[in-house]
Structures are given as C-alpha cells and as structure tokens.
Structure 1
Amino acid sequence: MDTEEKLDASNSRLVESSVKNVTTPPPRARSTLNQCLIVLIATCSMIINTANTTTISIALPTIEKEWNLEPARLQWAVSAYSLSAGCFYLVFGRCADVYGRKNTFCVGSLAAAVFTLACGFAPNIMALDILRGIQGVGASAIIPASIGILAQSFPPSRARSLAFATFAAGAPIGAVFGTAVGGVLIEFTAKSWRSTFYLLSGLTTLCLVGGFISFDKDIPSDEADKRIDWVGAFLITAGLVLVVFVLGDGEIAPKKWRTPYIIAFIILGVILIGAFIYWQIYLEKVQADPGAPYSKLTPPPLMKPSLWKRANGKFAAMMAVTFMTWCSFMSWTFWVQLYYQNYKHYTPMLVVVRLLPMFVSGMACNVFVGLMAARIPVVYLVSIGGFATAVSCLLFAVIDPNTTYWAFGFPASILTVLGADFVFSAGTLFISRIALPNEQSVAGALFSTMTQIGTAVGVTVTTVVSNTVSGRLRPGEDTIVTYHAAQWTGFAFGIIAAILGVVFFRGVGVVGVIANKHAFLKPAGRNDEEKTTDISATSTDTGASGSRFDVLEVIEMGV
C-alpha cells in the first residue's frame, strides 16, 4: 500500500469513527425569502461584530482628548473586546452544538445589546475597558452560532458558497460601516463617540428579533454524550485571557515586561494552555475507547485535537493563515486611522472618506468569491489575499506624508480587504466541509478565535514596535517613523500568511460546489472522472433514519 492509500485509509477510519451516532436531518425546503433572511441576519451580526472594533478605533483620538489620556492607555479599549470574544469562542461554540445554535445566538445577542449600550455610559477609561470585555463575551456566542446556522441551513451547493461569501462580506462592510458611521456620529452628534454604542446596541437588538423569528427551531444534538467539558473551558479561557492580557499590558506595566505580575501571568497562561491541550487529548482518547467505563469526570472534549489534523493538517494550516492575515489586516486598520487623525490631523469625516474604497473593494471581492469559489483553487484565494493585505501595509510603511492620497492611501484601501475577504470566505467554506455535522459551531468558533486573537496580537505587537521606536526619537524628530515601524510589522504578518497559503494549499482544489456536482478539493494530477467521484456511492450510513454523512468529502481533502 503506497503513502497515498495509507493516508486515505487512515482518514477513512478517522471519519467513520467520528460519525458514529451522528445523524444529519434531510435539508429543509426553503423559500427564497427565508434563505435571504437567514443570510441577512447572520451577515448583519458579522457587520456589527467588526464595527464594534472599528468604531472604537476611529473614536480613540476623541476619547484621548476627552479623558486626557496617554496613547498607551487607549489600546485596551480596542483589545478588550477582541480578547474576551476570542477567549470564549470555543466554549460557546460547543454550547451552540449541544444546546442549540438559535438559542446561543439569541442569548449572545441579548447580552451584547445590553453591554454595548452600557459602554455608551462609561464614566472613565477603566470602566470602558471592562464593559468592552463583557461586550465581547456576547459576540463570542453570536459568531460561532451564526456559522453553524449557515452550515446547517445550506447543504453543500452554490447557495452555500454565496451564503458564506455574503457572511464574510460582513467583515469589510462592518469595518467601513463602523468607520463611516462612527466618524459621522463622533463629529456631528452631541454625545460624540458614545452615540456609536447606542446605535450598535439598537442594531444588535434588531438581529436578536430577526434571528428569533427567522432561524429554524433548534434540532436536538444527536451526540450520545451531550456534556460540556467545563474543566477544559476553564483551562483554555483562563490561559488565553492571561496570555493576551500580558501582550496588551506589557508595554504599560510599571516596569514594562520586567514587571513581576507580567512574568508570572505569561508563565501561568502558557501552563494552562498546555494543560488544556493535554486534557483534550486525554478526553478524546477516552471517548474513542469503546471499552472505557463511563465517568462523570470524562465528558467529550471541548475541542477534538484530531480536528487540527484533518485533511493532513490543512485545517491547522488554515487557522494559521487566518491568524496571520488578521494580525496584518487589523493592525493596518488600527494604525491608518491613528496616522490620519493624530499625524495628519484630519477630522473623523475626512478619515472616513479616505477609507471608503475598502467598502467597494470588499463588496466586489465577496461577490467574486461567491461566484468563483467552485472554479478557483483555494491556494490562490488565501495566498493572494495575504499578499494583498501585506502590500497595503507596505504602502503605509514607506508612505511619504507629503505625497498625494492617490499614490499610497487609495491603493492600500483597495488592497487591504482582499486578505480579510478571500481568507474569511475560503476559510469558512473549507472548515464547514471538514467539520462533522455536530462540530460546525466548534469549528466556526476555532476559526473566529483566530480572527479575534489575531486582532489582539496584531494591534499589541505593532503597538510594542511603535512604542519602542518612539522611545528612541530625539526631541523634535518626525514621528512618522513610528507609524512606518508599525506598518512594517503588519507587512511581515501578511507575508507569512501568503507563504503559508502557498506551502500548505498548493495542489489543493476548490472550496465551492458547482451545481449538483459533489467534487471538493480535487487533488492535482487526477482525471476528471476521478475528480467527480459520486460521493453518494461511498457515503456512510449513520442512523436508522437513513440520514447520511458524506465521508469521501473529508477523505479527499487529505490527498
């Protein structure tokens, strides 16, 4: 048996063992209106999620002046939201798969609406940071549930490609919406930056109502064991909180990175994350052993470590590409707004005008992905996306402040969203095909965790670099070099994403589905007959009801 056959056999055994006791209900016949409403509400949730980051970014200079703050004190107003959202995604992703995606979406939307409104009444920066952190917990329930709802509502088809592409469009639309509407409200309303939170709270409430009315009633999970791994939930949440807290606070601690609590927290955080990984490996091994006795102490793992090995490690590679792309994209967004407002001294509205090309480019990219996901290999989407975002950072890393906007600012605004759009669209389609039916929200949670942690790490690392360069400036020296340094760091993140895309996805085929053809990720070098293998003939029967889960789709991704 050659290497390829061994891989196929190994993957087949993995999938067949994973789908035991998993049943997939037949697709429900939907009206066009119902389909549109589901996609619209999920996409609006993504728009609001991204807008919650960009509205605060454009408000930072105004908050800085209102409360007379040092620039270093502003970072947590952005990072706290990404930190809490990223750290709780896995927990709520698992809750969505077990307790219901609609229930999780509605509870998360209610919490997000309440604490978004509370942010608008924050009396000081510390209160704002805390409320932003709690606000992010609501988002951590909404986004994984949305991904699971889309995967459940749209079986593999052109409709699914369009649904996920539209959902992905929420990221750039949200970035521009948050920037544009935030700029208008900050400049023209009496409540200034606080008005942005009032608006976003109202929009979140509308999504809550729309989801309650339009989403399907939750189908009970078919898993034999529906328990939640709360020990694992504590370990990963506490570990991520400590690590990302250190990344954000290291520069403003009393002795910076030498501060005792900074050193203690980073060590403890790494230990907790390591303990989580070991615990998940142990739980998956126990669950896979049919002879293991039942124990209340060994529930199903919060995250199956084997999920990262799916498709010969390409699942993990997609997570890495996503993380690096978001480090690049969000650090570009963060520093461009500070450059325009603090260095060029533009008003928020003038900043909005300069970032509007992002909206047009983002919409065009997602229409392109929705229509072409079944024709363009994934390697082109992820590598071109990472490279385009890197180039946008490069343009601001070498920008001459005296040069016209059309030379640097305009092309950078066009290119930067390619990474976010291409990687998000291709990535969500990719993981939705790899994950089993009862793993959709957890897989979506992992993907979303990479975007949020990437946001926090990207902003944090570029801030550290900028502050380091700033500390070496002589009195009166041009501060443009600090902005250049931050963008060079963003450029490095984007280039790494592009390289990872080429290395790991070269030879892998498309992520979309054409009409009624079931081929997916067609390996290079096979003829058309082999590429369009009839999956229905190799499906694994998974229940008495006659429901089936297509095993070959997962196996082919490992070739």
Structure 2
Amino acid sequence: MTQVHRWRAFAVLAVSFFMTIADLAIVNVALPTIGVKLHMPESSLQWVVTGYALTFGGFLLLGGRAADLLGRRRMLMIGLAVFSAASLGCGLATAEGFLIAMRCLQGLGAAIVLPAALSIVMNMFPEGAERNKALGVWGAIGASGATVGLIAGGLLTRYAGWQYIFFLNVPIGAAALLLAPRVVPESRLATARRRYDPFGAVAVTGGLSLLVYAISTAPQVGWGTARTIALLAVSAALLAAFLVIETRVEAPLMPLRIFQNKTLAGANAVSVLLGASFFAFIFIGTLYMQQVLGYSALKAGLAWLATSLTSVALAGLSQALVTRGWAKLVMAAGMAMIGGGVLWATQVPVHGHFWANLAGPFVIVGIGTAFAFIPVSIAALAGVAEHEAGLASGLLNTSQQLGGAIGVAIASTLAATQASTLLRQGAAPAAALTSGFHWAFWACGLIGLCGVPVTYLLVRRNELAKAVARTAQKPQPAAAEV
C-alpha cells in the first residue's frame, strides 16, 4: 500500500475515531435543553451520558478481538453502520426511553469502531517515524475530540436544535461507510481455524459494564449503599472469573502474556490516570462555567477552545520529541502539566473571569494533553504483534474510558458532598458550588500527577526507544484479505 493511499485511509479512520470521542461530550451542554424538550427528570437525564459510556467501555475488548478474528475493515463498517443508525434514532427520539436505548446502541457502535480503526492504523504503518506521525495526529484528535464536542454541542443546540448534535453523525458516518471499502485495507488474524472465547467474552463484558454502571451511578445513589457495593462485588467476581478463564482456554480473548510487555502495561496504567484526570476536569470545568459563572452552552463550549487549539498546535512538537527518543520524558511531562494545570484551577473564585482565572489552566492542560496522549498511544502499541493489534488498541481505549468514568464519579461525589455540607451550614449557593468544584479539581489534579511516578516506574525506556527508533522503511506486514 503506497504512502498516499495509507494517508487517505487514515483520514477515513481518523474521522470515524473523532465521531466516537466527540460524542462522549457533545451531549453534556445540551442536557438541560433535552430535559425540557422531552420532559425528562434529572434521574433519567444522566442516562443520556451514562448509557453511552456503559456500552462503550463494556464492549471495547470484545470489539477489539472481533476485529482481529473477523476482519478489521469489516468490523469497522459494521460499527459505523450501527453508530450512524443509532445517531439517527437519537435525533428522532420523542421519549426518554427510546433516546437512552439509542445512546446505548451508539456506545456499542463506538466500541466496535474504535479498536478496529486503531488496529488498522497500526497495521498500515510500520513502527517508526511514519507510525509515530500517524499516532501523533491520532493523539491530537483524542486530546481535542471531547472539547470540540462541547463546542459543537453548544453551537448546534443554540442555532439548530438539540437533535442536530446526533443528526450530524449520520452524513459523516455514511460517507465514511461508503469510502471504507474503497480506501481502507482489510486485514485479520491469519489462522487456519478461528477460535473464540465465549465465556471470557461474557465475563469481561459483563464485569466491565457493571463496573461502569456502578461508578457512574454512585454519585446519585451513594458509594456506601447496598446497591453500589453489590454491583462492585459482582463486577469484581466477573473480572476475577475472566482472569481465571483466560489462563485455561485454548484461544483466550485477552492473552495475559501481553502484559509481559512492561511498557504496554505501564502505558495502560497511565491511560487510566489520563482519562480520569482529563475527562473529569472537562466535566467539572463545564459545570463551574455554567452553574457558577452563568455561561451559556455555547459560551462554555467556546471557552474550551483554549485547551483544544493548544493541544492541536503542539501535537507536532510532541510527535517530533517522541520520535527523537524522548517518549518517556514527554509522557511524564504531559501528565505533570495536566495535573498542575488542574491544580491551578483550584483557585477559581465565585466571581471568576475567563482570562484572569481559566485561560491559564486551560492552556497548560492543553499542552499536557498533547504531550501525554501521543506517547501513551505509541507506548500501548509498542512491540505488539500484528495478530494482537485489535486487542492492544481495545485495551488502550478500555483503560482510558474506564479511567474517565472513575474520574467523573470521584469528582462528582466530592463536589456534591462538599456543596451539600456548605448549603446545610447556610452558605450561598454559588459559594457552596465553587467550594465543591475546588475539591473536585484537587482530586483530578492529584490523579494526573500520579501519572508521573507511574510512567517512571512501569514504562521501560529501552522498550519504548526501540519502538520509536525503528525506521519507517521497515517492511510492512502483509495484510490477509478476507
């Protein structure tokens, strides 16, 4: 496959990836409008977000392994079809139950698209400079997708209607679906007989789905309630059963030997902390702007341009530094800046102003995401065999999504607890909310800073240097046509 054709295929895959990431955040600023238009209570409204995260996080590993076994382009197209159809259903929804069901179906489509797309990228580009360039762009999309989603959500909600945050996906998904068989190469695990791991698939999908469900609803029902504890216990039991199954079946869904690659294991650990700190910061920062400063959905979305534009602008520098062999240092610096930028935000006042109080933290976090997302993506795929590309990409995205769900749950719990305590003591609502958000920012910042020691303890400099130092002239693995 020529270089020009590879980059054409990459463009289709990048657009597919962007849609799934943007949809994690695009509904946040539109939730108040959706609640009013569909007469949804607060308890149901949260499921417009949680339903997507639940199936997205729960099915990523299964989606990645299905791509390896059944064909990566084939699964990409199936995922795009499911995602686009579900998006149309969301836009046409007139009742809360149907909207939530379509959001769950959207998450399932995203869980099929994302690992398939990333594993195709990995197999199109050999390890070295060209793959690092591709993953640099990929990392910039991941870093900016959520904030761009907030901006798009605000614009569409104000000027077109909340339905168009979902309708927008339909023509984009349809175009990607039409182009995929023409420009995206097909590949799959070359094996005489396809072996599956149904019990492992049920255990890990059930365990991850219950875990996402438990931590997403804990802020509303309470961490110490019997329901939350029971859900976490069942989730832990299913995940433990999954690990046992994987050591005994002939063709495991997730061969545990993959974690012998210390750099891969370390990158996934950092990915959990990255997702927890960054996505929770976006969630809490948006609430602060809307609930304390009185920003509209559009203004809150536009404020995040400081983060997304900074991240995109520095993605090339990050990729260049990684290619020069400084990947470990870049990863640690990125996590330090994310943590430091969020901790700076703990100083925001009740009567804050964007340029005086928010622009600085937003820019620092934007620099951090450019420096963190790219080396994490490269490290999580370094040294992975072609036949396990879908598994490795599914694992990376699973760790990031689970991290985001955990971070949002922790931040929400801390913010709500502190605000409720102060309100009972007679504090003004704005002051109580701001204090709660301060607590949440402290948690997000410290989680981000934890990524620095984890990087130095788990990511092996030699393993990572070998991956990024390989030349782009290395022969590309042959893709087996289905």
- What does residue 286 of structure 1 align with? none
- What does residue 132 of structure 1 align with? 103
Tell me the secondary structure at the aligned position of residue 355 of structure 2.
coil
Equivalent pair of 2:307/2:363 in contact (CA under 8 Å): yes
**Of 84, 90, 95, which residue of structure 1 is paired with 2:55?**
84
C-alpha distance in 2, partners of 1:376/1:167? 19
Equivalent pair of 1:378/1:505 in contact (CA under 8 Å): no
Structure 1 position 72, deviation (Å): 6.0
Structure 1 position 249, deviation (Å): 1.9
C-alpha distance in 1, partners of 2:148/2:224? 40
**Of 360, 363, 368, which residue of structure 1 is paired with 2:317?**
368
Which residue identity is paired with 2:254?
M
Which structure shows the bigger proportion of residues in helix conformation?
Answer: 2
For residues 119-518 of structure 1, the aligned pairs below 5 Å read 119-189=90-160, 192-216=161-185, 218-253=186-221, 256-283=222-249, 299-310=250-261, 313-474=262-423, 475-477=426-428, 478=431, 479-505=433-459, 507-508=461-462, 510=465, 511-513=467-469, 515=471
Which residue identity is paired with 2:469?
V
Equivalent pair of 1:49/1:139 in contact (CA under 8 Å): yes
Quickly say closer, same or farther: Cα 1:125–1:383, change in 2 above 3 A. farther
- What does residue 289 of structure 1 align with? none
TM-score, normalised to structure 2, is: 0.91
CA RMSD of aligned residues (A): 2.4
Unaligned runs of 5+ in 2: none
C-alpha distance in 2, partners of 1:35/1:416? 31
Quickly say closer, same or farther: Cα 1:507–1:125, change in 2 above 3 A. same
C-alpha distance in 2, partners of 1:418/1:123? 41
Unaligned runs of 5+ in 1: 1-27, 284-298, 519-535, 537-546, 549-559
Deviates more, 1:77-86 or 1:455-464: 77-86
Equivalent pair of 1:39/1:166 in contact (CA under 8 Å): no
Which residue identity is paired with 2:93?
A
Structure 1 position 516, deviation (Å): 5.7
Quickly say closer, same or farther: Cα 1:181–1:506, change in 2 above 3 A. same
* Cα deviation digits, residues 97-150 of structure 1 (max 9, x gap): 111100010000000001112122333444433322221111111111111111
- What does residue 16 of structure 2 align with? 45
Quickly say closer, same or farther: Cα 1:39–1:369, change in 2 above 3 A. farther
Equivalent pair of 1:171/1:421 in contact (CA under 8 Å): no
Equivalent pair of 2:275/2:403 in contact (CA under 8 Å): yes
Identity of aligned residues (%): 23
Which residue identity is paired with 1:86?
G
Equivalent pair of 2:64/2:393 in contact (CA under 8 Å): yes
Structure 1 position 457, deviation (Å): 1.3
Which residue identity is paired with 1:317?
G
Equivalent pair of 1:365/1:418 in contact (CA under 8 Å): yes
Equivalent pair of 1:73/1:252 in contact (CA under 8 Å): no
- Which one has the largest radius of gyration? 1
Equivalent pair of 1:329/1:419 in contact (CA under 8 Å): no
Tell me the secondary structure at the aligned position of residue 41 of structure 1.
helix
Quickly say closer, same or farther: Cα 1:319–1:515, change in 2 above 3 A. closer
TM-score, normalised to structure 1, is: 0.79
* Cα deviation digits, residues 168-205 of structure 1 (max 9, x gap): 2212332233122211111112xx22211110232222
Runs of 4+ in 1 over 6 A off after TM superposition: none
